[in-house]
Amino acid sequence: MSEAQHRDNQLAGSTAGALAEIARRQGAVIDAALVPPWYWWAVAAAMIVIGAVADYRHPVVLAIGITAAVAVIAVLTVMMIAGSYRGVRVRSSALLGGYGAGLIVGFVWLVVGLTLGCGFGLRAIGAPAPATIATAAGGVALVIGGPVLMGRLRRLMMARRAGDVPAGTAR
């Protein structure tokens, strides 16, 4: 190998190292912005509380239980969206795009649909504690599907990060 070729290879190697560093740092931001697994467990637990108090049918328990559970879900969700607990907010508009937003909305509708469908179906056949069972089913969907959704969104955002794929072409 000539000296010039050796120098070119060294330059290519150091430049590739810089590109790898860029990928690593952008991956760190994307990872920090993803919803952690405990969020899905916490929201699932709050959902089950709502189902359980709905079945219990005591007005005071119902009022306190639903208020507390909704507050937990709302606070956690706002924290996740705002990124306030991580100290960084990912460029979701550029990195997620319409496809990523559609995945999130689709997942929410899937969980809501499953929960309501289960609840009304169980109630129609006279099953005991239909709301508790339905919210538990929704909770299981959250705990299993949430991390799967996050994995899909991570791959999408890594594919759309600066310079990789022209915005709007990545799936």
Partner 1 sequence: MTTPRFDELIHAPTRLSIVSLLAASDWAEFRFIRDELELSDSALSKQLSALEAAGYVEIRKAFAGKRPRTSARLTRAGHRAFEQHVAALREIVARSSPQLADFGAGPSPGIG
Instruction: Indicate the residue among 26 and 132 with the shorter CB distance to partner 1.
Output: 26
- CA–CA distance, 166 with 145 (Å, rounded to integer): 29
Instruction: Indicate the residue among 20 and 112 with the shorter CB distance to partner 1.
Output: 20
**Residue 27 Cβ, how far from partner 1 at the closest point, in Å?**
3
Listed in sequence order, the residues at least 6 apart from 145 whose beta carbon sits closer than 8 Å to its beta carbon are 107, 110, 111
**Residue 79 Cβ, how far from partner 1 at the closest point, in Å?**
13
Residues 22-41 that bind partner 1 (CB under 8 A): 22-30, 32
- CA–CA distance, 161 with 34 (Å, rounded to integer): 15
Residues 83-142 that bind partner 1 (CB under 8 A): 86-92, 95
List the one residue from 70, 75, 148, 162 that touches partner 1 (CB under 8 A): 162
**Residue 67 Cβ, how far from partner 1 at the closest point, in Å?**
25
User: At 83, phi and psi to the nearest 5?
Assistant: 70, 15
Hunting for tokens 């005591």 — which residue is that? 58
Number of residues that bind partner 1 (CB under 8 A): 38
Q: What angle do CA 43, 90, 95 make, to 5 degrees?
A: 105
Q: Give me 7's structure tokens.
A: 């120098």
**Residue 57 Cβ, how far from partner 1 at the closest point, in Å?**
41
148 near partner 1, rule: CB under 8 A: no
164 near partner 1, rule: CB under 8 A: yes
User: What is the three-class DSSP state of 44?
Assistant: helix
Instruction: Indicate the residue among 68 and 154 with the shorter CB distance to partner 1.
Output: 154
The separation between the first and the last C-alpha atoms of the chain, rounded to the nearest angstrom, is: 42
HSE, CB side, 13 Å, CA atoms: give it for residue 81: 9
Instruction: Indicate the residue among 87 and 98 with the shorter CB distance to partner 1.
Output: 87
- Chain CA centroid to CA 51, Å: 22
159 near partner 1, rule: CB under 8 A: yes
Q: Which residues bind partner 1 (CB under 8 A)?
A: 8-9, 11-13, 15-30, 32, 86-92, 95, 155, 157-159, 161-164
